[in-house]
Amino acid sequence: MARPAEFDRDEAVAKAIRVFARHGYEAASTSDLLESMGIGRQSLYGAFGDKRRLFLEALRRYSGGSLAQMQAALEANRPALEAIEAALLVGLGSCDDLETGCLGVGSIVEFSRSDPEVNALNDDAGRAVLAAFADRLAEGVQAGELPPSLDVEAASRMLLTLRSGLKVAARGGSDTEELRRTARLALGGLA
C-alpha cells in the first residue's frame, strides 16, 4: 500500500507555478522544483508522475485562477468598460517579482504549438477568456453603454490579445500607470 502524501498538494503546486513562471518549463530544474516545493524526489514522482505532469497541473491551476480573477472583475457591479479595464489589469505580474509572470503566456512562447497537451490547456483558457469578455461586452451593448454596432467577437479577441500584451509589458518593466493608460486607450476604441 502506497504511503499518503506528506505535504499539502495545493501549496506544492502553487510553489511549482512560481518556479515555472520564473524559469519556464525547460529551464526549471527538478532540483529547483523540489527545493521550492519542500518535497523529496520520491514525493514528486509519487504525487505528480514527473516534471511534465506537474507542469500540466500547474498550468491548469494557474489558468483557472487567472480566469477566476478576471471573472470577478468582470462581474463587479460597475459600467462595462470599467469592469473590462479591471479584468485587463488584474494579476498581470511584474518585473520586480519574476515568479508572478504569466504561466500561460510563457508556455505559449516556450512551446508555440509543439505540444498538444499544452495547446489544449491554453486553447481552453483562451476560449474561456474570450467568452467572459464577450458576455460582458454584450451586457454593455444591451445596457446602452457600448454601441449596438460593436463586433463583440472581434472586440473579445482584441481584449484577449491586449491582456497577453499587458502581461508581457508588466514583466518587461511597465508600471501600473503605464499599463492602465494602455488599456484605457484601447478601450476608448470600443466606446
The model's pLDDT over 140-172, given as tens digits with 9 standing for 90+, comes to: 999 999 999 999 999 999 999 999 999 999 999
* Angle, in degrees to the nearest 10, between helices 152-172 and 116-142: 120
The structural domains of the chain, with segments of one domain joined by +, span 60-188
Distance between CA atoms of 37 and 48, rounded to whole angstroms? 12
Residue 78, amino acid: R
Instruction: Examine the pLDDT at 181 and tell me if it is beyond 80.
Output: yes
Query: What are the angstrom distances between the C-alpha of 16 and each of 67, 98, 114, 120?
Result: 19, 13, 22, 20
pLDDT for 68: 97
Q: What is the mean pLDDT of the chain?
A: 94
Distance between CA atoms of 23 and 41, rounded to whole angstroms? 19
1-45 per-position pLDDT tens digit? 455 557 899 999 999 999 999 999 999 999 999 999 999 999 999
Mean pLDDT of 95-99: 82
CATH number of 60-188: 1.10.357.10
Q: Who has greater pLDDT, 1 or 137?
A: 137
Record the pTM. 0.93
